[in-house]
Amino acid sequence: MNIIPAIDILGGRCVRLYQGDYEQTEIFNDNPVDVAKRWVDEGATKLHLVDLDAAKAGQPVNQKTIEAIVKAVHIPVQVGGGLRNYSTVASMLAIGVQQAILGTVAIEQPQLVSEFCQEFPGQIIVGIDARDGKVATKGWLETSEVLATDLARQMAQMKVAAIIYTDIHRDGTLKGPNIEALRELATVVSIPVMASGGISSITDLLSLLALETIGVRDVIIGRALYTGDISLPEANQAVGQGRWQDVPPNLGSSTFA
């Protein structure tokens, strides 16, 4: 299992939201590039970036910052936020981003996701962000009537590389992940699932590690890393992915492989 630090960018700064609420924003660093370098220094093998401005605007806003991060680190970077048409996805991948995360477009124009998967095989991820089991869109500002499990099945059929599942009610709260929702979603698809939202402790990580056999391969952590509730080196060691130790065969399989 891989631990992936999250870097949310709003107004050019590294921030965290509480339950996806733009009105409840906490600034952690004015320079996201410095944050990215820090996580690499502490053992990160991948980074998860979200352009929060773009998620609202529907088009990339902080692309220069994202490009600077890609150039500054030597590990794979996945990016989401405002990627809703061919040009934005293509331009993001062209600057060196390894995987593009689609959200709103998966609900509003699912056929585009299929086209992206054919054009960019292995580079398209779909983020499923849910409130009470239903998918939220447009930077979590709206909630659809589509069930997360139904969207997951549809996206898996389109051959997306992976699904990121976030329980919005848990995100940024440090209240622990929604294990049952993750288990339910992972059992309806055969592609890798990334867990996100609410992770607050090593105990949470060990609970998620128990889901690895059903496809939960990666864990995205945000607030807990910034508050110090979780140490990245300790988290890596807990799940057996520390770069300072040997990783048993197959344990280190990666969505980015």
Would you say residue 252 lies in a domain? no
Would you say residue 148 lies in a domain? yes
Q: Domain with 94 in it: what CATH number? A: 3.20.20.70
Confidence at residue 204, expressed as pLDDT on a 0 to 100 scale = 94
Would you say residue 247 lies in a domain? no
| Number of structural domains found in the chain | 1
| pLDDT tier, 139 (very low <50, low <70, confident <90, very high otherwise) | low
Would you say residue 257 lies in a domain? no
* Segments in 28-177 forming alpha helices (H): 32-41, 52-57, 63-72, 86-94, 104-108, 110-119, 148-157
Would you say residue 250 lies in a domain? no
| pLDDT tier, 76 (very low <50, low <70, confident <90, very high otherwise) | very high
65 contacts 85 by C-beta, under 8 angstroms: no
| pLDDT tier, 243 (very low <50, low <70, confident <90, very high otherwise) | very low
Would you say residue 45 lies in a domain? yes
Does position 71 have pLDDT exceeding 70, yes or no? Answer: yes
Would you say residue 245 lies in a domain? no
Please calculate the CA angle 246-197-218 and round it to the nearest 5 degrees.
25
Would you say residue 170 lies in a domain? yes
Confidence at residue 206, expressed as pLDDT on a 0 to 100 scale = 94
Summarize pLDDT for 161-186 with one digit per residue, the tens. 999 999 887 766 778 899 999 999 99
Confidence at residue 20, expressed as pLDDT on a 0 to 100 scale = 65
Confidence at residue 136, expressed as pLDDT on a 0 to 100 scale = 83
- Closest of 31, 29, 92 to residue 60, by C-alpha: 92
Catalytic residues: 8, 129
| pLDDT tier, 252 (very low <50, low <70, confident <90, very high otherwise) | very low
Does position 244 have pLDDT exceeding 60, yes or no? Answer: no
Q: In which residue are the tokens 């733009």 written?
A: 22
Q: In which residue are the tokens 């004015």 written?
A: 30
Domain that holds residue 73: 2-239
Q: What is the gyration radius of the CA atoms in the chain, in angstroms?
A: 16
Confidence at residue 254, expressed as pLDDT on a 0 to 100 scale = 32
